[in-house]
Amino acid sequence: MFSIIDRYIIKKFLSTFFFMLAIIMMFSIVFDVSEKLGDFISNKAPLKEIIFDYYLNFIILYGNMFTSMIVFISVIWFTTKMAKDTEIIPIWFSGKPIYRYLRPYFISATVLMLFSLFINHFIVPNANKARLDFEEKYYRDVMVVDDYHAEYPGNQSVFFSNYNDRDKRINDFTFQQWTSDDKPSCFIKSRYALNKPGSSIWQLRDLYIKNFYKDRIEIRHLKTLDTSFNFTISEMAHRESAAATMSFNELKSFIKREKTKGSSMVPMYEIELHQRTSYPFAAYILTLIGVSVASTKRRGGVGVNIAIGLGIVFIYIFAMKMLTVAALNLGFPSLISVWIPNAFFALTGVILFRSSQK
């Protein structure tokens, strides 16, 4: 059963959170509209698509992304008000264990964490897909890929010199097939290639094929060839944000396939996968730190506590970004890089809470 104080704090927590979320999202949309309105008008983006395909998914993405940070600011805001109104001292000296004071905070944080976790894994990928599709049509520059080379399962390698998303054409397409003992089996070079959208069917133009046999080499020149490969253009040419549009299982399969190709982007995709869980769990840690910072009366009241809180948030974001760069450039394991800031700040939160009791 919840006590009166439990219900009071939970109500304060959740109402402050959703109020802060609404304010922050409103300002974010205003700034985003001011930046992109000209592009929307020049590209004749329909108002319905702007609202439902872009800004509705914009709110889902960024509202969820900053959930933990908004939790932190909300906790500092209303807890500082409680401390200023001398509402916390009677709770701390009520005779109950001091950790009992944290229960309504962590109940509220659990509700928001589970909500964020569900959205991160099941809602955000679809929202990102709709938002990015809108940006491709009305806002983003044409995607260009130069000097692509990758290894594929089955001892296959692919190279092309250039591709752009406007005409969907690959220039200087080269395909090589090797035997299990690393001997050439087939070599195809085409002036350009087209991949049928959503399929593994390819059309090669102005090409020659070299087949290697035990006793001879056969070379054929063809004007056009319809064939299939076990890869698609969507695997070769995609933006870095493509991983954000994939569900958990899709992203796991995508990472596995990129590893077989030796892609340098694998750590970034792994970071995206692990952050979907680590970011929601940060709500617990930032709640504990927020309570510790805001439960003590300070000269300057809310302003001082928010300034301290924003400083901690800045350090947290900096640590997350620094370790992300380390994972990408220095070979740190992605899982450890994503969770180290949470572990460090969890310890910091425990220390701050203990010192706040004094």
Per residue in 230-274, pLDDT (tens digit) is 877 777 766 666 778 888 888 888 888 778 777 777 888 888 888
Q: Is the pTM of this model over 0.85?
A: no
User: What local confidence, expressed as pLDDT, does residue 77 receive?
Assistant: 87
User: What local confidence, expressed as pLDDT, does residue 17 receive?
Assistant: 94
Token pair listed for 146: 């130069």
- Which residue carries 């009791």 as its tokens? 357
The residue with greater pLDDT, 299 or 103, is 103
User: What local confidence, expressed as pLDDT, does residue 123 receive?
Assistant: 92
d(CA 310, CA 294): 12
Burial of 156 (0-12, 13-18, 19+ CB in 10 A): middle
Contact yes or no for 148/160 (Cβ under 8 A):
yes
Query: Quick one: DSSP state of residue 245?
Result: G
User: What local confidence, expressed as pLDDT, does residue 228 receive?
Assistant: 86
The residue with greater pLDDT, 119 or 149, is 119
Neighbours of 327 (CB within 10 A): 21
Query: Residue ranges per domain, the chain?
Result: 4-139+265-356, 144-237
CB within 8 A of 217, min separation 6: which ones? 210, 211
Contact yes or no for 64/125 (Cβ under 8 A):
no
pLDDT-derived band of residue 299, with 50, 70 and 90 as boundaries? low
Per residue in 307-351, pLDDT (tens digit) is 777 777 778 777 777 777 776 677 778 888 888 888 888 888 888
Burial of 144 (0-12, 13-18, 19+ CB in 10 A): exposed
User: What local confidence, expressed as pLDDT, does residue 26 receive?
Assistant: 93
pLDDT of 6 higher than 60: yes
User: What local confidence, expressed as pLDDT, does residue 333 receive?
Assistant: 81
Q: What is the mean pLDDT of residues 284-289?
A: 90
Helices (H), the chain: 4-42, 47-48, 56-65, 67-84, 88-92, 103-118, 124-138, 233-236, 248-261, 266-294, 302-329, 334-356
User: In the predicted model, what is the mean pLDDT of the chain?
Assistant: 83
Of 215, 161, 157, nearest to 188 (Cα)?
Answer: 157
User: What local confidence, expressed as pLDDT, does residue 1 receive?
Assistant: 67
User: What local confidence, expressed as pLDDT, does residue 113 receive?
Assistant: 93
User: What local confidence, expressed as pLDDT, does residue 101 receive?
Assistant: 80
pLDDT of 59 higher than 90: yes
- Between CA 190 and CA 196, with CA 193 as vertex, the angle to 5 degrees is 150
Token pair listed for 289: 């730190």
Neighbours of 104 (CB within 10 A): 20
Token pair listed for 63: 């509202």
41-55, 60-74, 295-309, range with the lowest pLDDT? 295-309
Of 345, 346, 328, nearest to 337 (Cα)?
Answer: 328
Angle between helices 302-329 and 334-356 (to 10 degrees): 160
Contact yes or no for 195/168 (Cβ under 8 A):
yes
Tally of CA atoms within 13 A in the half-sphere of 114 that contains its CB:
5
d(CA 92, CA 78): 17
d(CA 21, CA 31): 15
Encoded amino acid at 63, one letter: G
pLDDT of 289 higher than 80: yes
Per residue in 97-120, pLDDT (tens digit) is 667 788 899 999 999 999 999 999
DSSP per-residue codes, 38-69 = HHHHHTT--HHIIIIIIIHHHHHHHHHHTHHH
- Which residue carries 């998914």 as its tokens? 57
The residue with greater pLDDT, 147 or 158, is 158
Contact yes or no for 65/276 (Cβ under 8 A):
no
Of 167, 170, 166, nearest to 158 (Cα)?
Answer: 170
Using DSSP bridges, classify how beta strands 217-228 and 184-195 pair: parallel, antiparallel or unpaired.
unpaired
Encoded amino acid at 215, one letter: D
Per residue in 219-236, pLDDT (tens digit) is 889 899 888 888 777 777
Most confident of 78-87, 200-209, 296-305: 200-209
